[in-house]
Structure 1
Amino acid sequence: MKSILSAFILLSGLCIQTAQGQGTPKVAEDFKPSSVNQADKQFPQVNSQRRVRASIAAPNATKVQLDLGGVKYDMVKDANGVWTGESDPQDEGFHYYQLNVDGASVPDPGTLYFYGAGRWGSGIEIPSADQEFFALKNVPHGLVSENIYFSKLTNAFRRCFIYTPPGYHENAKNRYPVLYLQHGSFEDETGWASQGKANLILDNLIAAKQATPMIIVMDNGYAFAPQSKEAVAKKERPESVFEQVLVTEVIPMVDGKFRTLADRDHRAIAGLSMGANQTMRIMMNHLDTFSHYGGFSGTANYPSSDALDASTFLDGKYKDGNALNKKIKLFWLGLGTKEPVPFPKSIGAFKTMLDQQGIKYVYYESPETAHEWLTWRRCLYQFAGKLFK
């Protein structure tokens, strides 16, 4: 009894210390430069606790903050005018961030720049336990090429990035299936090959004989019809013509310039978030063009989480489940377990409709990830391994 009482007193004392802030975990001083830093730049850094430490020389500034994950962390200036500070532990994966210098949000000069949140800015890679599937390895590598074209529908030059698999240029006889892969809102055609590591994911899958060699086309999901001067002056919202650009301009161009298997059985379409919304609508409007679909963190009912009526949703295109099961070879959905509202609810409502109609689909959840690139890398990894089988 005495020993039990002593243990209780000791435990109570530890609880009091924690409540008084004396039990706050110490910051581990094992920081290492981020894998997406500019050459020879030592900051930002990441430690084993997944904290981010940033540093910037700003001797004349009065306040500098690290702005990461929606939280601003105050940084401290030393005698040489260098500000340094660190964040709380972050989720594994890739994250956009910026520095706030006297109220002005600026990119960190230590990192490579990535297009996200509607601008070019900084990114940080928090090492993940499963990063081997998108790591740069000593395996045969494909080629990501920039393809510039003129769009009559937008009356402007556009570009897409195209991944051709290992062996494409060595064997001029082989033809390949094609995946059209779209980015999310406020991102662009650079996202999947840069933040998403799409080429490395496919290189590794193909080397392990876990995926069919394929071409991947990554275009810009923002495509608008030309506006009159009056409409521009009135700041009217331009008409999106991305669906028409993809179907009538990009696909014929790709089939004409690359050795594709140019039929619906060998053509897939997928996207993340906004791209999931776009590609689902495009597929359902063009089932004669696509036979495989992947939606990562999104569906065509985003952002609504209301119950869906198959007889009216997307003009009733889901009301005949048997017909769709015969037409669609792979219907694939993926989501992170930490996704914010409304994504779980909207995708949940969509899945309920599919179940009610008897429509076959594959569903995947990325453990402990939110609405960010590690979720979508994992989704692509899982999805690509099932394509064109």
Structure 2
Amino acid sequence: MRTVRWILAGVFSAICYTQVVAQIVPKLLSDNKVEFTVKAPEAQKVQVDLCGTKYDMIKGADGIWKVTSNSQVPGFHYYSLIIDGVSVADPASPSFYGCGRWSSAIDVPEAGMDDFEVQAVPHGQVRIMHYYSEVDKAWRPLMVYTPAGYDEGKQKYPVVYIQHGGGEDHHGWMEQGRTAQIMDNLIAAGKAVPMIVVSANSNVRARNGGFGGGYSWQGMQNFRSELIDNVIPFVEKNFRVKKDRKSRAMCGLSMGGGQSFYIGLRSPEVFANVGVFSTGMFGGIAGAANIDLEKEVPGMLSDTKTFNRQLDVLFVSCGEQDPRISYTRDIVKKMRDGGVEVKFNSYPGDHEWQVWRKSLHEFAQYLFKK
């Protein structure tokens, strides 16, 4: 087992999660407005790009630029500084990999979501590993959450393989998604069984160049091979895990939701639990339309009894302000009308991390209890 380094779950508190320690900017104000401050005395123009909204900063006599945003909804918001036309990360904020680049972020807490924060409960660990990929022909990263007590015990655990979205990587669920905090709190409260959560980088290079992907069964083949032939064997060799299908789950957000739909539902010999969060494959994004469920997952509607028997949990979710929501509801209705046993929930929010944190929080409570 090759361990690069260890990260204790819950290193950051809510107040400094998106700030550099000892810095006071960016500052979240009481009305959920955000105050940004940048020292750039020689700059001619400075802006903050907060989730696509650009704010012009005002320069003071001391060369310090300031601006206060509009009130922000709870959740995780990427932002960048634009200094004389160049978009850069804010040195006063940690960087998070999202939107296809390392970006800054501000995390606005939501009342009642204490399970997303570090609590006085036993904490698990997040380990950064490297495994050799026969698909990429290279060493690739992996982040693995193990529950509290893993190193001291001998028991075997079920596993969730959790997938990030487009423009993100394996860091997303463990950092932006607060996976360790969510799992620590649920397990400590007895709401979820102790489980291991594995976050792989699904940006796998296609053999003909570029990256494999796309919302189709064929487009998923490179990552399917990566996951089933490389990642799962590595995890099962190096961790104490249960190796039967009922002890494995696959879930993901957006692009990862599409991967979970295709790979999870078409590989019942591998996974008995599948979660699909905010996928665009049902519609709501350019080039996507309502799909033919039977064509994409043979047997879902033509042999529904077998399909249901093979799955312990099928869970679908989406944000209520996400352009994908109406299409997702339509697909869930088609599933249910066809007799498919599917759980569904929606949460306030657009295509963003607060929705996905809530999706994992709910999905985890259904798992491995049959």
Q: What's the TM-score, normalizing by structure 1?
A: 0.85
Q: How does 1:32-43 map to 2 (within 5 A)?
A: 35-43=17-25
Distance 2:339 2:295 in 1: 17
1:373 counterpart = 2:353: yes
Query: Which amino acid in the other structure matches residue 370 of structure 1?
Result: D
Aligned partner of residue 312 in structure 1, secondary structure: helix
Distance in 1 separating the partners of 2:96 and 2:80:
11
Distance 1:207 1:326, change over 3 A: same
Residue by residue, what CA displacement relative to the aligned partner does 1:325-357 show, whole Å, maximum 9, x if unpaired? Answer: 111101111111121x2x113312321320221
Could you tell me how far apart the structure 1 residues matched to 2:64 and 2:294 are? 62
Q: Distance in 2 between matches of 1:58 and 1:160?
A: 38
2:30 to 25, 48, 51: 48
Equivalent residue, structure 2, for 1:216: 197
**1:369 aligned counterpart, secondary structure:** coil
Match of 1:273 in 2: 254
Tell me the residue number matched to 1:20.
none
CA distance in 2, matches of 1:356, 1:106: 49
Structure 1 counterpart of 2:64, one-letter code: V
Residues 111 and 123, structure 1, Cα contact 8 Å, conserved in 2: yes
In structure 1, C-alpha distance between the alignment counterparts of 2:143 and 2:267, rounded to whole Å: 23
Q: Counterpart in 1 of 2:314? A: 331
Q: Which residue of 2 aligns with 1:108?
A: 90
Report the alpha carbon displacement of residue 134 of structure 1 after superposing the two structures with TM. 1.1
Q: Which residue of 2 aligns with 1:382?
A: 362
Does the Cα contact within 8 Å between 2:35 and 2:66 map onto a contact in 1? yes
User: Which amino acid letter does the alignment assign opposite residue 251 of structure 1?
Assistant: I
Matched with 1:201 is 182
Cα 1:224–1:35 shift into 2, 3 Å = closer
Contact 2:319–2:355 (CA<8 Å) still a contact in 1?
yes
CA drift of 1:305 comes to 6.2
Matches of 2:326 and 2:191, distance apart in 1: 32
Q: Does 1:253 align with 2:238?
A: no
Shift of 1:224: 1.6
- The answer to which structure, 1 or 2, has the higher relative contact order (CA under 8 A, 6+ apart) is 2
Secondary structure in structure 1 of the residue aligned to 2:170: coil
Residues 94 and 311 of structure 1, relative CA distance in 2, 3 Å threshold: closer
Structure 1 distance, partners of 2:195, 2:87, is 40
Structure-2 change in CA distance of 1:137 and 1:312 (3 Å):
same
- After TM superposition, give the deviation of residue 37 of structure 1 in Å: 0.3
Cα distance in structure 1, aligned partners of 2:147 and 2:243: 17
- The number of aligned residues is 346
Q: TM-score, normalised by structure 2?
A: 0.89
- Structure 1 residues 301 and 274, CA gap change in structure 2 (3 angstroms): same
Counterpart amino acid of 2:76? F
Greater Rg over alpha carbons, structure: 1
Shift of 1:130: 2.3
Please list the CA deviations of residues 234-283 of structure 1 after superposition, one character each: whole Å capped at 9, or x if unmatched: xx644451110100111111111111110001100000011000111111
The SS at the match of 2:194 is: coil
Q: Out of 178, 185, 192, which is 2:166 matched to?
A: 185
| C-alpha displacement of 1:284 | 2.1
Q: Output one character per residue of 1:119-165: Cα deviation in whole Å (capped at 9) or x when no partner.
A: 11101011211231111111101111011011111111101100111
Partner of 1:141, secondary structure, is coil
**Distance verdict in 2 for CA 1:318–1:190, change over 3 Å:** farther
Closer, same or farther in 2 for the Cα pair 1:185/1:168, shift >3 Å? Answer: same
Partner of 2:123: 141
- What SS class does the counterpart of residue 161 from structure 1 fall into? strand
For structure 2, the residue ranges without an aligned partner over 5 or more in a row are 1-13, 214-221
Deviation at 1:47, TM superposition (A): 1.0
Give the Cα separation in 2 of the matches to 1:209 and 1:189: 27
**SS of residue paired to 1:136:** coil
Instruction: Give structure 1 stretches of 5+ with no counterpart.
Output: 1-31, 228-235
> What is the rounded CA distance, in whole Å, between the counterparts of 2:126 and 2:301 in structure 1?
36
Decide whether the 8 Å contact of 2:164 with 2:255 is kept in 1.
yes
Amino acid in structure 2 at the alignment position of 1:216: V
